[in-house]
Structure 1
Amino acid sequence: MDHLGKNKLPPNALAQGLWIGDIPDELKDLRFAEKLLIAQVRHSRCLVKVASGRYKMKANIMYFSNPIDKIYDILPPGKDELDEMIAFMFTGPSKPTPEQLRDMPLLVRRAVVKRALEWLKLNHKDYQDIISDENLSSYEEEAVPVAYEYQQQEFNKDTLTSGINEEIEDEGTGSGPCPVSVHGLTGEDFGNMTSHEMCAAALKHLKENKKIILFVAHDEKSVLTFHNPSLFPMMYPHLFPYGFSGINNSMQTSKIGQTAHKRFYLMYHDKHFQFDPSFSIIAFNVEQMKQSNDSGFIITHCKNIDNIADHIRNIDSKVLDDMYIQFKNKERVVPANKQEKSCLQLIHDVDAAASHVQGSVTSKKYMRNDIWSLINKIGSPSWFITISPADFNHPICLYFADVDQEYKPEI
């Protein structure tokens, strides 16, 4: 009411470029691979693991972020492009049957893809003259277009997320499309490294490749990740059917911020953003990339940037190799000479930039230090709550996830 009283549009008004539109039938119930085939922008690659038990089947997906987002001029991409995007593993007591392949998220139905692309061409503002009949005809009428690796396994129950007294039984569904869950987005080699290990590895690479800082074997045409209103509508056309409501779009008279805009997506009334298995993770990853980019920009404008540059230029490769091995072996590193102190100081300088990135190893380390400092000052908590082995088995978690779980605490 305050904004209307001042003759201004409220920040959350649909006229502020927040209108999305209803999802048409042509874009509903698309399989995972079909969504990839109609997307103009590719942000990541993925490993898809389909686990079959005796009666049920489920799918897990792990995303790997691309250094540069890729944009396609024609859709669907060729089958060789799909092989670059997806690695497929199947586990079960036997190899998949034709019926099981039809229930997998990697099933591609050519007629469904064609119908979706034709609708987008007529209605989405970023889709014009994009359909390649040649590429489309290279896909079978109804088949999984990527090869799979098979590994024999009797059950598909994950022991890490099973209760202590829980009976081993199959997870997933026995008929129809198998459920899909995304388990995270990560770099290929850095998932289990500490912050010091990652910094040391990066500095080691920088020192060994003095001229080659970054080389990406990728298509020469890329798309801007930041300050690009069309990024998410082109990456998720099945969520933005008309191509509107991009972040920082030109219709916004008052900026609402990227984080607030993504919160608007996730709180959308029909929850189609929440139900998409990858949107929230990719949106968070873009946020992390922006925070990392901003932190690096701040460091380059610090007064001690010349000292940091001198440290990198004059660093001793042998000392850095030794420290990298020590960090990799989880050993405590105590600098014994000037060169080791210089290497450690450089690692701390790089570490400082990562502390501003949500979810980074460094930010978790700083949070852990804050907790220990708080305990040291006011004492340890009188009681702890431990949810083991997985929080999604806890009744409170199930209750807030709105799965019709009746929760009656008995105290």
Structure 2
Amino acid sequence: MQKKEVNQQVFFCVSSFLCESIGAQVAEHAPGLTDLICLWEKNPAAKVSNAYQKKVLHLLNQLKLIAKEVKGSTGYKLCCRNEICALLKRFRTPALFLTLNPSDFHHPLVGILGGLLPEAWQAMSLYERSVFVANNPAATAQFFHVMMTCFLQIIVQHGSDSPGLFGHSETYYG
């Protein structure tokens, strides 16, 4: 899934004053770029071997790769930090931080979402459950989503008129 996201969401960024010159250089050195692609497809750890390849590599280094939509990428993390900073400016410093980690190895909902009966889940050893969780990432992600949604609706009661367990919730991030 992440490879598909990379292909769809990644783009290059160039400073405005370098845009025309880098565009012309990319057009000029297109065969060299193709050669480097072939070289790195054969051996991803290959080093450039001649002055022309070094020049093309320097050109590539001038391009900034932007991948803010690809989860786990540096751009995505930067985007998340910027969102948190914006929330801090808008709503002030949070009064409460919570870190939740629902236990997917112990909860029978993971097994149910993965197509097992609760009895079959209970009969599994911890190792068998961990293998099941590793082999069923969609069921595990659904479990996590259900648990977080329920926590926000029942415990925090975000968006409702009545206060939750910790009082009224103006906002949350997660």
Fold-level match, TM-score > 0.5?
no
TM-score by length of 2: 0.36
- Name the structure where strand makes up a greater proportion of residues: 1
TM-score by length of 1: 0.19
- Name the structure where helix makes up a greater proportion of residues: 2
Q: Which has the higher contact order (CA 8 A, sep 6+)?
A: 1
